[in-house]
């Protein structure tokens, strides 16, 4: 990962993310973070300015880490058949969106007035688009895919569908079988992933053997 954060900042951000994932942004106080990170409360102001600004740093840190992880992930599947690669990319994106779902409300609000976050996301999305384009073209060339949809439209379908499910639990949980409070997220992720696999492969005109 690019040297964008100091080791101390990374330590604080890792602790903050762990707590926010468990208790939510509102339920996590600066004192909670400082206590677990074993630092003085003033250090948050020193390194980030405020709790709100710390979230902006945390989001940028998470995007950088996920970009790094995706690059490693993409490298591990690069020699696979295009249909396998597409399946794994869909699974990867859906899993990441569910895993870090506590960012979504924050991102929607911050993107209205934070240009650096827009730039981070733009670069990130283009990384996905490039990989999807590569897989689509490989699939068409090999005869596995019949159609050549735009990779940015495929990405929009994957992210849009997943975010809708995450943000509209009161609706989607009506259609998720075998759920409980503890298993809802896992079951919802499975359901939306299977739906996206069917939708995307239909758009591609996948010709299974």
User: Domains of the chain by range and CATH?
Assistant: 1-49 (1.10.10.60), 61-204 (1.10.357.10)
Query: What digits encode the pLDDT tens for the residues 15-39?
Result: 998 888 888 888 889 999 999 999 9
Judged by phi (left if over 0) then psi (alpha if -120 to 50, else beta), residue 29 lies in: beta
Q: Give the pLDDT confidence score for residue 1 in this predicted structure.
A: 46
Percent pLDDT > 70 in the chain is 92
Name which of 193, 185, 190 is nearest 159 in CA terms: 193
Q: Give the mean pLDDT of 132-153.
A: 97
Query: What digits encode the pLDDT tens for the residues 151-188?
Result: 999 999 999 999 999 999 999 999 998 888 889 999 99
Query: What digits encode the pLDDT tens for the residues 41-53?
Result: 999 999 998 888 8
The pTM of this model reads 0.88
């Amino acid at each position: 990962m690019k040297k964008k954060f100091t080791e101390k900042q990374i330590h604080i951000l890792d602790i903050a993310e762990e707590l926010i994932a468990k208790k939510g942004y509102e339920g996590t106080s600066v004192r909670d973070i400082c206590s677990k990170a074993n630092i003085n409360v003033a250090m948050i102001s020193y390194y980030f300015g405020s709790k709100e600004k710390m979230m902006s740093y945390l989001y940028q840190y998470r995007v950088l880490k996920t970009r790094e992880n995706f690059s490693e992930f993409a490298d591990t599947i690069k020699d696979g058949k295009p249909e396998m690669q597409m399946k794994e990319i869909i699974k990867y994106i859906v899993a990441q969106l569910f895993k870090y779902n506590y960012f979504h409300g924050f991102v929607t609000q911050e993107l209205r007035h934070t240009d650096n976050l827009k730039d981070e996301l733009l670069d990130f999305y283009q990384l996905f688009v490039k990989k999807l384009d590569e897989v689509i073209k490989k699939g068409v060339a090999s005869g596995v895919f019949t159609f050549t949809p735009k990779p940015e439209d495929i990405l929009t379908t994957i992210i849009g569908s997943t975010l809708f499910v995450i943000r509209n639990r009161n609706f989607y949980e009506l259609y998720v079988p075998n759920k409980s409070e503890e298993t809802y997220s896992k079951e919802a992720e499975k359901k939306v992933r299977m739906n996206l696999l069917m939708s995307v492969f239909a758009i591609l005109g996948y010709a299974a053997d």
